Structure formats: structure tokens, C-alpha cells
Amino acid sequence: EAEVAQSPRYKITEKSQAVAFWCDPISGHATLYWYRQILGQGPELLVQFQDESVVDDSQLPKDRFSAERLKGVDSTLKIQPAELGDSAMYLCASSSRLAGLAGANTGELFFGEGSRLTVL
């Protein structure tokens, strides 16, 4: 079964250090999302790509976070410098390009297992 791959699964770093997360979406999925999930809360969108283009990065703290999807396939999310408040699960998700017809498989995001970041 096709899956969204993420690495690393766990990352412990000290504040002010740089950290990077990688995501490989399901093959053929044009839309890729990075979500952040703080413990006890729901996922919050950081950035959305359609192919290699950013569709929405309004919630991405651009002073320290960056995301790229250069060839429209895999993606990297970087944090530099990391802060204590960045400790969270970083989830990558992908969805297909299929049109959103009522009754179709609209809105199904397939999530990876996440990368859990702890900043000390």
C-alpha cells in the first residue's frame, strides 16, 4: 500500500540549532502539505504545495521556517534557528489532483507517521 514517507521519525536538538525534515508523498499526488501538531492539539497547516508551487504559506513563520518542493515530488521543511516552542509533531500529507466532486474522494489527505521534534 502506498504511503507518505517521512524522516527522521524523532529529532532532539538544542535551541538555536538548525533542523530539517523530509517528506516523500504518495506517487502521483500533486498536493503536499506540512502540518504542525502540538501535543494535545489538532494539526495546523504550515504550508501547502501544488506541484512545486506554494499555494498557502500564510501560517508559516517565515523568519525561521522554510519549505521547498523543488521538483514537485519530495519536500523539505527547515527550521533555523529552532526555539523551545517548536517542539511538536511535524506531519506531512498528500492528496491527489482529482476534482472535488460531491461524493468523490474529496478532501482525503494521506498522512505520514510524522517527525517528532524536541527542542531542549
Contact 7, 115 (CB under 8 A): yes
Measured from the CB of residue 81, what is the shortest distance to another protein in angstroms?
Answer: 26
Q: Evaluate the omega torsion of the peptide bond into residue 61 and state whether it is cis, within 30 degrees of 0.
A: no
**CA 37, 15, 115, 68: dihedral to nearest 10 degrees?**
90
Measured from the CB of residue 100, what is the shortest distance to another protein in angstroms?
Answer: 2
Q: CA 30, 107, 46, 41 torsion: positive or negative? A: negative
Measured from the CB of residue 67, what is the shortest distance to another protein in angstroms?
Answer: 14
For 86, the 3-state DSSP assignment is helix
Measured from the CB of residue 30, what is the shortest distance to another protein in angstroms?
Answer: 11
Residue 41 or residue 80: which is nearer to another protein going by CB? 41
Residue 10 or residue 16: which is nearer to another protein going by CB? 10
The site for another protein (CB under 8 A) is made up of 4, 31, 33, 40-45, 48, 55-56, 91, 93, 95, 99-100, 102-103, 105-114, 116
Q: Which ranges in 14-106 belong to alpha helices (H)? A: none
Residue 27 or residue 40: which is nearer to another protein going by CB? 40
